[in-house]
Amino acid sequence: MRIALVDDQRLFLESMRAILETVDEGFSIVGVAENGVEALEMVADTHPELVLMDVRMPEMDGVEATRRIRMRAPTVKIVMLTTFEDDQYVHDAMRVGASGYLLKSISTDELLTAIRAVQAGVVTIDPHVVRTLMHPGHDAGGASTGEGTTGRAAPPAPPEWYDRLSRKERRILALVIEGYQNREIAAQVHVADQTVRNYISQIYDKMNAPDRVTAIRIARATGLF
């Protein structure tokens, strides 16, 4: 399994790399980065299958980096590693497509178990975080526990128009939101300028948005972009 590591603490980064390179699990560390901006470039260059991502980092945090990576490379699985049990981070991470949320205090065995679970397609949340989410008075829709270290978050249902968008339309909409112009988007998705205009027109129709500004406002309000 091709794994990339992202953390702004060099000592933790190197320790994690040493652990994963010494276990007999077939892991290959293909890249490391120290903030979200570096992570975007590193993932584009190295094409990992799994990214272990710190939440709080300078320049660009892990949640935003996860959102952008998932938009550009939707097959990449991303597991958040953090010292924080804050439930808002969990919801934010799951909403943007993270496959797991683990505390840095877990043992090596727990980390390996979590990686294998994510590799098998199981969303994985640290049990300490799950208990926080299930604490009386917390929104019951936050998460549900599973066996061992696994659990499933229940993010808000996306709007109907979002479900009608194709994968390419979602990617184009994400690029529109990031401020790319049509010609730049065409280069990103490898289609003609006119094709991008056609896609954007279809997106506006599905969103019931009359123009670019309105579409961006509607999309950002969902928290999915």
pLDDT (0 to 100) of residue 95: 82
Per-residue confidence (pLDDT) for residue 150, from 0 to 100: 43
The pLDDT of residue 28: 92
- The pLDDT, as a whole number, for residue 68 is 93
Distances (CA, A) of 110 to 20, 116, 149: 13, 10, 7
Picking from 155, 168, 86, 88, the residue whose alpha carbon sits closest to that of residue 123 is 155
User: Is 160-222 assigned to CATH 1.10.10.10?
Assistant: yes
3: amino acid identity, one letter: I
Sequence spans of domains, the chain: 2-153, 160-222
Each residue's pLDDT tens digit, 5-41: 999 988 889 999 999 988 877 899 999 999 999 999 9
**Considering the chain, what percentage of its residues have pLDDT values greater than 90?**
32
Strand partners, 3: 29, 50
Q: What angle do CA 10, 49, 115 make, to 5 degrees?
A: 70
Which residues make beta-bridge pairs with 79? Answer: 52, 100
Q: Dihedral of the CA atoms 207, 210, 215, 221 (nearest 10)?
A: -80
State residue 43's pLDDT score.
Answer: 95
pLDDT score recorded for residue 108:
87
Check residue 139 and give its pLDDT. Answer: 46
Task: State which residues of the chain have pLDDT below 50.
Answer: 135-155
Of the candidate CATH numbers 3.40.50.2300, 3.40.1350.10, 3.40.640.10, 3.90.230.10, the domain formed by 2-153 belongs to 3.40.50.2300
**Per-residue burial over 5-14, b = 16 or more CB atoms within 10 Å of its CB, e = otherwise:** bbbbeeeebe
The whole-model pTM stands at 0.59
**Residues counted in the chain:** 225
